[in-house]
Amino acid sequence: MSIIVQKYGGSSVADAAQIKQVAGRIAAARDKGHRVVVVVSAMGDTTDELIKLAYQVAEHHDGRELDVLLSTGETVSSTLLAMALKNLGYAAISLSGAQAGIRTDTAFSGARIKAIDSKRLVTELEKGNIVIVAGFQGITEEMDITTLGRGGSDTTAVALAASLGAEMCKIYTDVAGVYTADPRLVPEAHPIAEISYEEMLELSTFGARVLHNRAVELGELYDIPILVAASAGGGPGTLIHGGVSMEVRNKVRGIAHDVHVAKVTIVGVPDRPGIAAAVFQPLAEAGVSVDNIVQNASIDNITDLTFTIAKGDLARAMAVVEPIAGQIGARQYLSDTNVGKISIIGTGMLNAPGYAAKMFSALSDKGINIQLITTSEIRITCIIDEAKVKEAATVLHRAFELESGE
Ligand code: ADP
Ligand code: ASP
Ligand code: MG
């Protein structure tokens, strides 16, 4: 009997009626004779609300307590889903991440799965149970509960699919698949039929939150095809897999945007060896991940250093930058939270000139100023004014003819 792994996101289980509806869909998969493992996210905006509550009681909290708090959101939805299934007459059991054997490192709020001990899960499947696993969480060697980072239930699902040897992992969400751009931002965006792991990894890393980037990483590593589709049904969804033909790859596939970005500039830095290490080493030690780094050409051995980080990391980053700026003799340091990232992604741009020029001129035609540029082999990202992100996404979607379909 084949094992299928399905994941339902928070907006698909936002209330009791939706939970009952999802239970019906799971029951239908079971009726087809599959062994079914379901990963579920917290109901609706529960995680946001729990975070808000935590900040209402204290400005600072240690990661351990916060992760236990956040993990409760998925406990609620997984138990309710199991109850709804039992009510339909199906054998079902809910398991927390820890009970499902998901072992992680100790990086609270952004833990990585180190191993999965699927014994209990397999036993429950053998007993004939539909197993509902609370997403987004795991447990350390010290038995502390961790969470995997926002959107991490997708990663739970793909990791379980890999460890159980499932043929595919199905991610059910509130949109009909992976679109050419966020459909909330660009109404002309449409679902992509299939996309490679590498393109999807860039899309999700650069803002397409429809799929957690580590889920894509695991999918590629263990060769698990991932189907993203609407939980309400209708439409084939998007298949992310390794066998996408070059023909389909041969153009810009999608636009990603991210407004959870902050820019930090250290002004008047002496241009000598060791300065970059002096800044970025302590940032890394503080757990701040830095992505776009630009160092200007120096004049009279003085330069400026600019980098971007996640908005949520700004306070932590500035606490590190403040003393270092003094130590290295920088003139001043500045931060800006009114910035956003806009990226074009596609293996088609590999070794093909012209994409960058087309992107920059499409933005400049609309008077959108580019503050920083970074690239990978299959991506070009511009940092722009946050207020211009929607317009930029729309204009790039048109410039690269994404509205015309595949
Ligand atoms: P879930 O609760 O199911 O995990 P998420 O809110 O995490 O759902 O992700 C789905 C959302 O991702 C969509 O509602 C959409 O606004 C957003 N999104 C961003 N980029 C894309 C994209 N390229 N394709 C589809 N959805 C996208
Ligand atoms: N509930 C968590 C979040 O909101 C995990 C998830 O939805 O995947 O980030
Ligand atoms: Mg999600």
Q: What is the CATH number of the domain that holds 313?
A: 3.30.2130.10
- Amino acid making up residue 163: S
Residue 281 sits in the same domain as residue 399: yes
> What domain range includes position 330?
255-404
Q: Report the alpha-carbon distance of residue 344 to residue 178 in Å, rounded.
A: 15
Residue nearest to atom 4 of ligand 2 (CA): 47
**pLDDT at residue 247, as a whole number:** 58
User: Per-residue confidence at 291, pLDDT binned at 50, 70, 90?
Assistant: confident
Summary mean pLDDT of the chain: 94
In a domain, 319, yes or no: yes
Residue 137 pLDDT greater than 90, yes or no: yes
**pLDDT at residue 246, as a whole number:** 63
Residue nearest to atom 9 of ligand 2 (CA): 150
In a domain, 225, yes or no: no
Residue 141 sits in the same domain as residue 290: no
Domain boundary among 142, 174, 206: 174
Average pLDDT of the residues in 146-150 = 97
Residue 269 sits in the same domain as residue 163: no
How many CA atoms, within 13 angstroms, populate the side-chain half-sphere of residue 147? 26
The count of structural domains within the chain is 2
- Please tell me the pTM assigned to this model: 0.94
Q: What is the CATH number of the domain that holds 9?
A: 3.40.1160.10
Residue 16 sits in the same domain as residue 159: yes
In a domain, 18, yes or no: yes
Residue 287 sits in the same domain as residue 379: yes
Atom of ligand 2 nearest to the CA of 9: 7
β-bridge partners, 321: none
55 Cα: distance to centroid of ligand 1 (angstroms): 26
Q: Which residues line ligand 1 (CB under 6 A)?
A: 9-12, 41, 151, 173-175, 178-179, 181-184, 208-210, 254
Residue 379 sits in the same domain as residue 284: yes
Domain boundary among 129, 152, 174: 174
Q: Report the alpha-carbon distance of residue 153 to residue 40 in Å, rounded.
A: 7
Q: Is residue 136 in contact with ligand 2, taking CB distance under 6 Å? A: yes
Residue 39 sits in the same domain as residue 151: yes
Q: Report the alpha-carbon distance of residue 211 to residue 207 in Å, rounded.
A: 9
Residue 294, phi then psi, degrees to nearest 5: -130, 130
Residue 157 sits in the same domain as residue 260: no
In a domain, 219, yes or no: no
User: Per-residue confidence at 249, pLDDT binned at 50, 70, 90?
Assistant: low
- Angle subtended by helix axes 197-205 and 213-222, to nearest 10: 160
DSSP letters for 183-231? TTT-TT--B-SEEEHHHHHHHHHTT-TTS-HHHHHHHHHHT--EEEEET
Protein residues placing their CB within 5 Å of the ion ligand 3:
9, 151
Q: Is residue 203 in contact with ligand 2, taking CB distance under 6 Å? A: no
Residue 165 sits in the same domain as residue 259: no
**pLDDT at residue 406, as a whole number:** 55
In a domain, 249, yes or no: no
In a domain, 222, yes or no: no
210 Cα: distance to centroid of ligand 3 (angstroms): 6
14 Cα: distance to centroid of ligand 3 (angstroms): 13
Atom of ligand 2 nearest to the CA of 148: 5
Domain boundary among 111, 142, 174: 174
In a domain, 248, yes or no: no
Share of the chain above pLDDT 70, in %: 98
In a domain, 33, yes or no: yes
Q: Is residue 152 in contact with ligand 2, taking CB distance under 6 Å? A: yes
Average pLDDT of the residues in 48-75 = 94
